[in-house]
Amino acid sequence: MIDIKFLRENPDVVKENIKKKFQDQKLPLVDEVIELDAESRKTQQEADALRGDRNRISKQIGALMGQGKKEEAEEAKKQVGEFSARLEALEAKEAELSEKITKIMMTIPNIIDPSVPIGKDDSFNVEIEKFGEPVVPDFEIPYHTDIMEKLNGIDLDAARRVAGNGFYYLMGDIARLHSAVISYARDFMINRGFTYCVPPFMIRSNVVTGVMSFAEMDAMMYKIEGEDLYLIGTSEHSMIGKYIDTIVPEETLPHTLTSYSPCFRKEKGAHGLEERGVYRIHQFEKQEMIVICKPEDSPYWFDQLWKNTVDLFRSMDIPVRTLECCSGDLADLKVKSLDVEAWSPRQKKYFEVGSCSNLGDAQARRLKIRVAGKDGKKYLAHTLNNTVVAPPRMLIAFLENNLNPDGSVNIPEVLRPYMGGMTKIEVPQK
């Protein structure tokens, strides 16, 4: 959410940004919110003046009574009563206008960074850099669920009977590999100076609307019936929410946290053939990283965050590339975003395994996350987040890039301590 003062003073900049996001249907909202804001400020000024008059006359009543001017005191009381009635109406109008303004402001997209490429959808995203040499082996690589099934590592049929489509049972060495990747990612981030955290897996609605747009909320979140609670779609929501309505001492910044959590997502809409299996599911586990920092430091931390993911995947010998998200592919709160994609030897292309985002002060403004500067002044923090690793999607890349012709899967050296020293997952003997 952008600053109402900025919008008021720079409506053309806000409109141009909306056009760059290819959301022209939102252009009238700028003028509408400016009109509502002007009416709100006028109402507030009238209310403030009325409060002043009411307080002044209220103070006179006692003096008038003491002077024996009972009739004048009664008239003053009547006037105070009239002021109070008018003030009550003005306060109700203020609240109504404030609600309307907030609702509109939460749908107007954040101002994107000048470096963001302009494009309508993800087909306009720009490849930045490749890390590692993508290899296509001289043997056929099966679909990831077929690899897992051969290793007795997955049971989708049982999951469908228990919970429906979009769920899975991971079994045996594949389940162990899943946990090993999460544990390795945790230690990887701790070794990079991040504080480890296990957050709440449910959050209240005021946190949900603080960390994401209404469109994202509707497409992603599961609500707990009868409770003001939502299951988290990513631990970023809970981690940023940790700072709601707080004032952070500037000298303690940056706050760098890495968190583990299960994640729950509706994943609305139809998906293609390559998104069956465990690619797009309703429940998964994830290691996340977030940063709370000073505004001038957020570009630095943006680069640090995506590099962490690249380094993690390269430590497991998985080729990756980085992709800059274009304007039309950015969620409304994001200033800048970069995807990390892993190489799929089977598909002979890259696919997304992580997303790094700089949200500027948008989340901080919604959640009232402020920084107390050394000069005593307060300002909004900047927030950033990035995926460290999110199995089981990451397992797809892992299995394809470490598969042997006989169906066994190599375990990279960095994961062996988490796999009891195993160097390979072997195909079970029938």
Q: Express each pLDDT in 253-285 by its tens digit.
A: 999 999 999 999 987 554 454 556 788 889 999
pLDDT score, position 330 = 94
The answer to the question of residue 285 being in a domain is yes
> Is the model's pTM score more than 0.85?
yes
Q: Report how far residue 100's alpha carbon sits from residue 144's, in angstroms, rounded to the nearest whole number.
A: 48
Q: How confident is the model at residue 218 (pLDDT cuts 50, 70, 90)?
A: confident
Give the other-Cβ count within 10 Å of 336's Cβ: 22
The answer to the question of residue 384 being in a domain is yes
- The model's pLDDT over 386-420, given as tens digits with 9 standing for 90+, comes to 999 998 889 999 999 999 999 999 999 999 999 99
pLDDT score, position 270 = 44
User: How deeply is 7 buried, as exposed, middle or buried, from its count of CB atoms within 10 A (0-12, 13-18, 19+)?
Assistant: buried
Final residue before a domain boundary, out of 56, 72, 105: 105
* Residue 124 CA to its chain's centroid (Å): 22
Percent of the chain's residues with pLDDT above 90: 80
Q: Report how far residue 267's alpha carbon sits from residue 350's, in angstroms, rounded to the nearest whole number.
A: 21
Residue 197 sits in a domain of what CATH number? 3.30.930.10
Give the other-Cβ count within 10 Å of 135's Cβ: 11
Final residue before a domain boundary, out of 70, 105, 140: 105
Same domain (yes/no): 340, 272: yes
Q: pLDDT averaged over the chain?
A: 92
Q: At what angle do helices 298-315 and 172-190 cross, to 10 degrees?
A: 140
Final residue before a domain boundary, out of 76, 105, 134: 105
Number of domains in the chain: 2
Place of tokens 């009563």: 81
196 by DSSP, 3-state: which? strand
Alpha-carbon torsion, ordered 307, 311, 312, 316, to 10 deg = 150
Same domain (yes/no): 154, 26: no
Evaluate if residue 80 carries a pLDDT over 80: no
Q: Report how far residue 331's alpha carbon sits from residue 419's, in angstroms, rounded to the nearest whole number.
A: 38
- The model's pLDDT over 18-72, given as tens digits with 9 standing for 90+, comes to 999 999 999 999 999 999 999 999 999 989 888 887 877 777 776 767 677 777 7
Evaluate if residue 8 carries a pLDDT over 80: yes
With a CB cutoff of 8 Å and minimum separation 6, the contacts of 272 are none
Q: Report how far residue 28's alpha carbon sits from residue 18's, in angstroms, rounded to the nearest whole number.
A: 10
- The model's pLDDT over 166-182, given as tens digits with 9 standing for 90+, comes to 899 999 999 999 999 99
| Largest Cα span, the chain | 107
Residue 45 sits in a domain of what CATH number? 1.10.287.40
Contact assessment for residue 363 and residue 240, using Cβ atoms and an 8 Å cutoff? yes
DSSP characters for 332-362? Answer: TT-SEEEEEEEEETTTTEEEEEEEEEE-TTH
Q: Decide which of 84 and 383 is more confident.
A: 383
- The model's pLDDT over 370-387, given as tens digits with 9 standing for 90+, comes to 999 999 899 999 999 999
Same domain (yes/no): 89, 182: no
Same domain (yes/no): 236, 322: yes
Contact assessment for residue 356 and residue 307, using Cβ atoms and an 8 Å cutoff? no
pLDDT score, position 240 = 96
Mean pLDDT of 218-231: 90
pLDDT score, position 78 = 79
pLDDT score, position 35 = 96
Q: Strands of 202-203's sheet, edge to edge?
A: 202-203, 230-231, 222-223
At 109, list the tokens: 């997209």
Beta bridge partners of 261: 286
At 354, list the tokens: 């992580």
pLDDT score, position 319 = 97
Nearest by Cα to 320 from 340, 347, 305, 339: 340
Report, in angstroms and rounded to the nearest whole number, the Rg of the chain calculated over CA atoms.
28
Evaluate if residue 369 carries a pLDDT over 90: yes
Q: Which domain holds residue 83?
A: 4-105
Percent of the chain's residues with pLDDT above 70: 97
